[in-house]
């Protein structure tokens, strides 16, 4: 009895210190986003979009869920370029992976897509 309690305690402590395999592949996200924000040129936007696409591709290759927000961010950039249909596709991908994003995505869909149509 005492021994099992001890073992349990030890395991708990060890687990707290152990490193885990990452949940997501984020690629070069921070860097390319920062560059684009610092100087919002066409080229930096292109690079950031490529990074977002690569995150989606690599994630599916590695059998990981796409990190939260990535599909939505990509869709949003497409929306700003006027590519409504494509944007909606990526919003749907985001919702499929993370159902909790639905209220937010619905707002995006209504607000932006409704606005562009009028």
Partner 1 sequence: MDRKEGKLTMKIPKLFILFGILSLALSACAPKALKKCEVFPKMYAERPMSILVLPPINETTAADAKEYYATTVAEPLSLSGYYVFPIEVISEILKSEGAYDTEALVDVDPKKFREYFGADGVMYIRIKKWDTAYYVIGGNVTVGVHCLLKSTNSGDILWEYDGIIVYDTTARSSGGGLGGLIAAVIITAIQTATTDYVPIAKRVNYMVLQTIPAGKYNPRCDQDRDDPVVVRKTTK
Cβ count within 10 A of residue 38: 9
Q: Which of 4, 16, 61, 85 binds partner 1 (CB under 8 A)?
A: 16
Per the CB < 8 A criterion, the answer to whether 64 and 74 are in contact is no
Q: Which of 51, 56, 59, 70 binds partner 1 (CB under 8 A)?
A: 70
- Alpha helices, DSSP H, located in the chain: 2-17, 29-38, 42-61, 70-80, 84-97, 102-108, 114-117
Pick from 32, 31, 93, 85: nearest CA to 66: 93
And the tokens for 69? 């927000």
Number of residues near partner 1 (by CB under 8 A): 38
Q: Which of 45, 76, 89, 92 binds partner 1 (CB under 8 A)?
A: 76
Q: Give the nearer residue to partner 1 in terms of CB position, either 57 or 102.
A: 102
Q: Which of 29, 59, 78, 109 binds partner 1 (CB under 8 A)?
A: 29
Considering the complex, what minimum distance in angstroms separates the CB of residue 85 from partner 1?
Answer: 18
Could you tell me the maximum CA-CA distance found in the chain, to the nearest angstrom? 72
Residues interacting with partner 1, by CB under 8 A?
A: 2, 6, 9-10, 12-14, 16-17, 20, 22-24, 26, 29-31, 33-34, 37-38, 65, 67-70, 72-73, 76, 98, 100-104, 107-108, 111
């Amino acid at each position: 009895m005492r021994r099992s309690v001890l073992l349990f305690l030890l395991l708990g402590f060890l687990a707290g210190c152990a490193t885990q395999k990452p949940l997501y592949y984020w690629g070069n996200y921070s860097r390319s986003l920062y560059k684009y924000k610092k100087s919002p040129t066409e080229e930096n936007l292109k690079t950031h979009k490529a990074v977002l696409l690569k995150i989606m591709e690599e994630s599916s290759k590695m059998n990981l869920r796409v990190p939260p927000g990535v599909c939505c961010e990509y869709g949003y950039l497409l929306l700003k370029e006027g590519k409504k249909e494509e944007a909606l596709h990526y919003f749907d991908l985001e919702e499929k992976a993370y159902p909790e994003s639905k209220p937010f995505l619905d707002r995006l869909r209504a607000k932006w897509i409704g606005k562009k149509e009028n």
